């Protein structure tokens, strides 16, 4: 079963990748799983059979696509650039017939295949090599002669590198083969700069986008071709022109001055393997193209063709403000197609649970003099949940765990509490209760509350996880097995009897991790706790026995965040290895791997309907993934720093994100648009939370403040006409000041977690730093 699931998800994963990233992915795979033991390797064998097929299919599809593109000639993509082109199809399933043979692919594809084969062989996966080779219809000696082959296919610079080490991978990755006169680089660049400065105002902003990627690639080309001093001069001359929000990347770039440095530098690898995406209007693009052709400026033209993906749209060029709002990510903006897939953002139908009329409760109400006001409310709630949201996914789109009796009880509790919920609004701000962690010298790194706000868990840099009860009910362990035998299993209060009173305490410490705990999450039923750590594992803890149940291994690098699905059972994790993994608590292998981010995944969050997960990353993008098929269905760009927190609105329509740049951005999931920008924080925003009804957005930050924002207004003011939706060009008003409802300073306590109780009381948590 496990293996089948694995096959499914990995297959989907592979499908979504272009061949060049397959190499990368494979190496990640091998790297991460070699340690995991023989079992993983066996699994690898299994799906190798399958994915070899997929690789072939991909090759075929590419062949087909190239033809189509050439006919359309909209993007004026060069014929030889099939890989990244395929990147654009991230969400699309291959529709071309798999019948076409690999031989139909371009010669580069064959070369890719050879590289894949070589890679597999190097990792001693002989069986896979054999099968892949057979299916590709390659002669047996093709591998033997590949050294010569590849150096022949790759050009000058690459061949030299090929001899040194890992020739196969190098050939695939070496993109800076052509070489111009290094002295001319600054001339070319400043020529283009002059040209762009002289064009009409309306085009200038758009064309200026070209500067940064061009600058980076020209610099890398110089470095790659060992023109160290020229590269340095080039960098110093032009780095001041770049937009300030690329500062972090430029700093990394500046430290790199040797070809050897390029290998192994992940930031650069991203630059070279993925294309930088720019959105430019047709008019502006024509202008640029004409200029470059007139000047015969091949150097720049080549870079634009090879390393840039220009997403051309019809209509008026965008303004500087519009561009700035969307740019800033590591690899440019998201392509428009990337956000076109349909997202079922609606909520799942709530299971119908009869609300038992609690007599005592009713009486109490009567005494208070509010006789039957509750009744109609309950009815309205019931009817609301009965309606099927047209945007909601099918109830069974992904299998969800069945409700247990205890879950039903909890639901009832929830509904009861919900009737007592305070309606919030600009005139009715929530009260905030702040939980300060005192004496947390070791460093508080993560906090989570249970949904019913009865427990708090804290993750610490000293590898411990601590759980507190914030209600008078103390934390108790289950009795030992021997004692459990003595209990009368038929008694009514058996659940009470199994608890060991002697162990009752207000807090419990969970030891097990061997590195700082960065992510923490309670299961919705409050029986489990997840924690992710620097040691690369995610641990599942039982809150009945306060012991570790499972250690999920797979990331092998620090796991920055993890979260339980709102329906339990599933959970998502993401970390330094740039892959988000979807797990089920009863599987020790991930069910899905979401790969596509170009840098660490810093935060992960489940959509309220459990069908989607959102991941934020240090590459300054947010991606939304479909749990069912592993596709990336949305890419949001606009943040200028690593994203550290995400929050879905309770109705599932909107997403809020906070980053180190101190801004909070709001996104419309259905349309795939940025719809708001909340400025005010002066440091990293570490936590965001919508109130239970979604009227208020609370944000907590490193700058020691909690801020409340008018979410209703932010979403109401929205004008999403068809045009904006179609082009994705938004006009953001600067209305942060109007939307800000309150700022509450804490006393030198960074706010790292926020939580709305079921009655809309806001809980905040952080460690007091005297």
Partner 1 sequence: MAEERRQKQCSVVLPTESMKAMAESVGVGQLQEESCVALSEEVSYRIKEIAQDALKFMHHGKRRKLTTSDIDNALKLKNVEPLYGFQSQEFIPFRFASGGGRELHFYEEREVDLSDIINTPLPRVPLDVSLKAHWLSIEGVQPSIPENPPPAPKEQQKAESTEPLKVVKPGQEEDATIQGKSQGATAADGKGKEKGLIRLKPRSTHELSVEQQLYYKEITEACVGSCEAKRAEALQSIATDPGLYQMLPRFSTFISEGVRVNVVQNNLALLIYLMRMVKALMDNPTLYLEKYLHELIPAVVTCIVSKQLCLRPDVDNHWALRDFAARLMAQSCKTFSTTTNNIQSRITKTFTKSWLDDKTQWTTRYGCIAGLAELGPDVIKTLILPRLAVEGARIKAVTEGPVVSNIDKIGADHVQSLLLKHCASVIAKIRPQPDNVEQYRTDFGYLGPMLCSHVMKARTQAALQAQQVNRTTLTITQLPHPDVPSAGDPVAAIPPGNKVHCHGNKCRSRLNSAGHHPQLLSVSFTKLESDGFCQNPFFGCLVAEVPEEHQSKEGFTVVGYALYFHTYSTWKGRSLYLEDLYVMEEFRGIGIGKGLMGKVAEVAKKKQCVRLQLSVLNWNTSTRDFYAAKGAQDLTEREGWHLIRFDGENLDNLANDAPSD
**Which 206-235 residues touch partner 1, going by CB under 8 A?**
232, 235
Pairing of strands 643-648, 612-617: unpaired
What is the rounded distance in angstroms from the CA atom of residue 530 to the CA atom of residue 74? 49
Write down the least CB distance from residue 721 to partner 1, Å.
25
Are the C-beta atoms of 517 and 532 separated by less than 8 Å?
A: yes
Q: Where are the alpha helices (DSSP H) in 99-210?
A: 107-122, 126-136, 146-153, 156-164, 167-173, 184-198, 201-208
Q: Print the binding letters for residues 444-463 with partner 1: x by CB under 8 A, - otherwise.
A: xx----------x-x-xx--
Write down the least CB distance from residue 24 to partner 1, Å.
17
What is the rounded distance in angstroms from the CA atom of residue 640 to the CA atom of residue 245? 6
Question: Which of residues 366, 428, 491, 733 is near partner 1 by CB under 8 A?
Answer: 428
Question: Which of residues 78, 98, 152, 247 is near partner 1 by CB under 8 A?
Answer: 247
Q: How far is CA 321 from the centre of its chain?
A: 25
Question: Which of residues 655, 741, 757, 760 is near partner 1 by CB under 8 A?
Answer: 741
Write down the least CB distance from residue 756 to partner 1, Å.
14
Are the C-beta atoms of 733 and 713 separated by less than 8 Å?
A: no
Task: Examine residue 441 and tell whether it contacts partner 1 (CB under 8 A).
Answer: yes
Which range, of 196-204, 330-338, 496-504, 514-522, touches partner 1 by CB under 8 A? 514-522
Q: Where are the alpha helices (DSSP H) in 73-125?
A: 82-87, 107-122
Task: Examine residue 698 and tell whether it contacts partner 1 (CB under 8 A).
Answer: no
What is the rounded distance in angstroms from the CA atom of residue 291 to the CA atom of residue 373? 73
Task: Examine residue 257 and tell whether it contacts partner 1 (CB under 8 A).
Answer: yes
What is the rounded distance in angstroms from the CA atom of residue 10 to the CA atom of residue 554? 14
Task: Examine residue 615 and tell whether it contacts partner 1 (CB under 8 A).
Answer: no
Write down the least CB distance from residue 218 to partner 1, Å.
16
Question: Which of residues 610, 684, 757, 760 is near partner 1 by CB under 8 A?
Answer: 684
Question: Which of residues 119, 645, 752, 756 is near partner 1 by CB under 8 A?
Answer: 752
The closest of 616, 659, 639, 635 to 343, measured between CA atoms, is 635
Question: Which of residues 38, 95, 431, 485 is near partner 1 by CB under 8 A?
Answer: 431
- Tokens 């340690």 -> residue: 35
Q: Where are the alpha helices (DSSP H) in 353-430?
A: 359-368, 374-386, 405-419
Site for partner 1 in 126-145 (CB under 8 A): none
Tell me, what DSSP letter sits at residue 232?
A: H
Write down the least CB distance from residue 743 to partner 1, Å.
5
Write down the least CB distance from residue 534 to partner 1, Å.
6
Question: Which of residues 1, 74, 244, 481 is near partner 1 by CB under 8 A?
Answer: 244
Question: Which of residues 153, 744, 758, 759 is near partner 1 by CB under 8 A?
Answer: 744
The closest of 723, 706, 712, 701 to 666, measured between CA atoms, is 712
Write down the least CB distance from residue 747 to partner 1, Å.
5
Structure tokens at 762: 């806001």
Site for partner 1 in 634-663 (CB under 8 A): 642, 644, 660
Write down the least CB distance from residue 709 to partner 1, Å.
13
Annotate 580-631 with DSSP letters as a single string: EEEEETT-SS-SEEEE--SS-EEEEEE-TTSSEEEEEETTSEEEEEETTT--
Nearer to partner 1 by C-beta: 414 or 434? 434
Task: Examine residue 363 and tell whether it contacts partner 1 (CB under 8 A).
Answer: no
Task: Examine residue 560 and tell whether it contacts partner 1 (CB under 8 A).
Answer: yes
The closest of 383, 525, 456, 419 to 760, measured between CA atoms, is 419
Task: Examine residue 1 and tell whether it contacts partner 1 (CB under 8 A).
Answer: no
Question: Which of residues 99, 139, 240, 376 is near partner 1 by CB under 8 A?
Answer: 240
Write down the least CB distance from residue 560 to partner 1, Å.
6
Write down the least CB distance from residue 769 to partner 1, Å.
9
| Residues near partner 1 (CB under 8 A), total | 85
Q: Which residues face 708 on adjacent strands?
A: 698, 742
Are the C-beta atoms of 699 and 707 separated by less than 8 Å?
A: yes
Q: Is 220 helix (H, G, I), strand (E, B) or coil?
A: helix
Site for partner 1 in 174-203 (CB under 8 A): none
The CA–CA distances, whole Å, from 174 to 25, 306, 311, 650 equal: 17, 12, 24, 47
Write down the least CB distance from residue 688 to partner 1, Å.
15
Task: Examine residue 420 and tell whether it contacts partner 1 (CB under 8 A).
Answer: no
Are the C-beta atoms of 555 and 575 separated by less than 8 Å?
A: yes
Q: Is 425 helix (H, G, I), strand (E, B) or coil?
A: strand
Structure tokens at 751: 């706010």
Question: Which of residues 750, 755, 756, 760 is near partner 1 by CB under 8 A?
Answer: 750
Residue 279: phi and psi, rounded to 5, are -110, 120
Are the C-beta atoms of 49 and 128 separated by less than 8 Å?
A: yes
Write down the least CB distance from residue 179 to partner 1, Å.
23
Task: Examine residue 713 and tell whether it contacts partner 1 (CB under 8 A).
Answer: no
Contacts 24+ apart (CB under 8 A), 391-396: 391/344, 391/345, 391/346, 391/670, 392/344, 392/346, 392/347, 392/348, 392/349, 392/609, 393/344, 393/346, 393/348, 393/609, 393/611, 395/348, 395/349
Write down the least CB distance from residue 737 to partner 1, Å.
6
Nearer to partner 1 by C-beta: 480 or 505? 505
Question: Which of residues 258, 320, 404, 420 is near partner 1 by CB under 8 A?
Answer: 258
Which range, of 207-215, 254-262, 291-299, 336-344, touches partner 1 by CB under 8 A? 254-262
Site for partner 1 in 70-99 (CB under 8 A): none
Write down the least CB distance from residue 236 to partner 1, Å.
5
Which range, of 289-297, 342-350, 353-361, 702-710, touches partner 1 by CB under 8 A? 702-710
Question: Which of residues 1, 74, 438, 481 is near partner 1 by CB under 8 A?
Answer: 438
Write down the least CB distance from residue 468 to partner 1, Å.
5
Task: Examine residue 350 and tell whether it contacts partner 1 (CB under 8 A).
Answer: no
Site for partner 1 in 259-298 (CB under 8 A): 260-261, 265
Nearer to partner 1 by C-beta: 26 or 751? 751
What is the rounded distance in angstroms from the CA atom of residue 554 to the CA atom of residue 577? 10
Which range, of 101-109, 196-204, 363-371, 679-687, touches partner 1 by CB under 8 A? 679-687
Greatest alpha-carbon span in the chain: 92
Nearer to partner 1 by C-beta: 371 or 443? 443
Q: Is 108 helix (H, G, I), strand (E, B) or coil?
A: helix
Are the C-beta atoms of 117 and 135 separated by less than 8 Å?
A: no
Question: Which of residues 507, 545, 629, 724 is near partner 1 by CB under 8 A?
Answer: 507
What is the rounded distance in angstroms from the CA atom of residue 195 to the CA atom of residue 288? 9
Nearer to partner 1 by C-beta: 133 or 644? 644
Q: Which residues face 117 on adjacent strands?
A: none
Q: Print the binding letters for residues 464-503 with partner 1: x by CB under 8 A, - otherwise.
A: --x-x-x---------------------------------
Site for partner 1 in 562-601 (CB under 8 A): 576, 600
Question: Which of residues 236, 358, 379, 483 is near partner 1 by CB under 8 A?
Answer: 236
Question: Which of residues 132, 175, 250, 635 is near partner 1 by CB under 8 A?
Answer: 250
């Amino acid at each position: 079963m496990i293996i089948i699931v694995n096959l499914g998800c990995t297959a989907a994963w592979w499908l979504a990748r272009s061949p060049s990233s397959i190499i990368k992915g494979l190496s990640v795979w091998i790297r991460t799983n070699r340690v995991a033991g023989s079992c993983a390797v066996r699994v690898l064998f299994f799906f190798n059979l399958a994915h070899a097929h997929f690789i072939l299919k991909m090759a075929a599809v590419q062949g087909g696509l190239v033809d189509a593109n050439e006919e359309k000639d909209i993007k004026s993509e060069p014929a030889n650039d099939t890989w990244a082109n395929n990147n654009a199809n991230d969400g699309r399933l291959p529709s071309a017939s798999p019948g076409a043979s690999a031989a139909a692919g371009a010669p580069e594809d064959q070369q890719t295949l050879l590289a894949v084969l070589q890679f597999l062989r190097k990792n001693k996966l002989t069986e896979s090599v054999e099968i892949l080779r057979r299916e590709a219809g390659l002669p047996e000696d093709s591998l033997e002669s590949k050294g010569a082959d590849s150096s022949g296919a790759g050009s000058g610079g690459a061949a030299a590198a090929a001899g040194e080490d890992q020739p196969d991978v190098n050939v695939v990755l070496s993109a800076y083969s052509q070489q111009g006169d290094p002295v001319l680089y600054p001339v070319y660049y400043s020529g283009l700069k002059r040209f762009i400065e002289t064009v009409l105002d309306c085009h200038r902003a758009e064309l200026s986008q070209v500067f940064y990627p061009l600058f980076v690639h020209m610099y890398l080309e110089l470095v790659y071709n060992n023109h160290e001093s020229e590269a340095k001069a080039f960098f110093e001359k032009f780095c001041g022109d770049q937009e300030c929000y690329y500062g972090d990347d430029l700093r990394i770039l500046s430290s790199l001055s040797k070809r050897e440095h390029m290998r192994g530098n992940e930031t650069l690898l991203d630059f070279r393997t993925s294309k930088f995406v720019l959105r430019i209007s047709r008019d502006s693009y024509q202008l640029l193209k004409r200029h470059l052709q007139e000047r015969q400026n091949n150097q720049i033209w080549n870079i634009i063709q090879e390393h840039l993906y220009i997403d051309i749209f019809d209509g008026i060029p965008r303004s500087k403000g519009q561009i700035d709002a969307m740019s800033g990510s590591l690899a440019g903006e998201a392509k428009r197609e990337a956000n076109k897939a349909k997202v079922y953002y609606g909520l799942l139908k709530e299971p119908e649970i009869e609300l038992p009329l609690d007599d005592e409760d009713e009486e109490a109400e009567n005494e208070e003099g509010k006789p039957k006001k509750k009744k109609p409310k309950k009815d309205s709630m019931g009817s609301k949940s009965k309606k099927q949201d047209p945007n909601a996914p099918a109830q069974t789109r992904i299998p969800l765990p069945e409700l247990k009796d205890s879950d039903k009880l909890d639901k009832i509790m929830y509904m009861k509490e919900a009737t007592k919920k305070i309606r919030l609004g600009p005139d009715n701000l929530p009260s905030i209760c702040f939980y300060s962690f005192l004496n947390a010298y070791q460093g508080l790194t993560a906090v989570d509350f249970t949904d019913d706000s009865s427990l708090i868990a804290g993750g610490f840099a000293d590898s411990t996880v601590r759980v507190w009860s914030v209600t008078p009910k103390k934390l108790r362990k289950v009795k030992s097995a021997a004692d459990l035998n003595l209990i009368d299993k038929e008694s009514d209060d058996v659940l009470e009897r199994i608890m060991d009173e002697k162990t009752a305490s207000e807090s419990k410490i969970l030891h097990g991790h061997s590195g700082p705990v960065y992510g923490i999450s309670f299961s919705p039923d409050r029986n489990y706790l997840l924690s992710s750590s620097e040691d690369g594992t995610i641990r599942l803890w039982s809150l009945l026995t306060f012991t570790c149940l499972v250690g999920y291994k797979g990331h092998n690098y620090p796991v920055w965040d993890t979260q339980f699905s709102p329906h339990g059972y599933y959970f998502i994790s993401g970390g330094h290895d740039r892959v988000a993994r979807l797990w089920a608590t009863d599987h020790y292998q991930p069910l899905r791997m979401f790969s596509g981010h170009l840098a660490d995944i810093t935060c992960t969050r489940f959509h309220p309907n459990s069908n989607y997960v959102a991941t934020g990353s240090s590459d300054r993008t947010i991606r939304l993934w479909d749990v069912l098929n592993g596709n990336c269905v949305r890419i949001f760009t606009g943040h200028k720093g690593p994203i550290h927190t995400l929050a879905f609105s309770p109705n599932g329509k909107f997403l809020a994100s906070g980053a180190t740049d101190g801004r909070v951005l709001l996104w419309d999931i259905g349309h795939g648009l940025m719809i708001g920008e909340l400025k005010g924080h002066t440091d990293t925003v570490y936590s965001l939370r919508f109130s239970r009804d979604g009227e208020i957005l609370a944000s907590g930050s490193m700058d020691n403040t909690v801020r409340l924002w008018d979410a209703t207004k932010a979403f109401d003011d929205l004008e999403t006409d068809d045009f904006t939706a179609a082009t994705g060009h938004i006009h953001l008003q600067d209305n942060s000041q109007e939307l800000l409802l309150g700022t509450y300073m804490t006393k030198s306590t960074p706010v790292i977690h926020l939580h709305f109780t079921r009655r809309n009381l806001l809980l905040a948590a952080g460690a007091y730093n005297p």
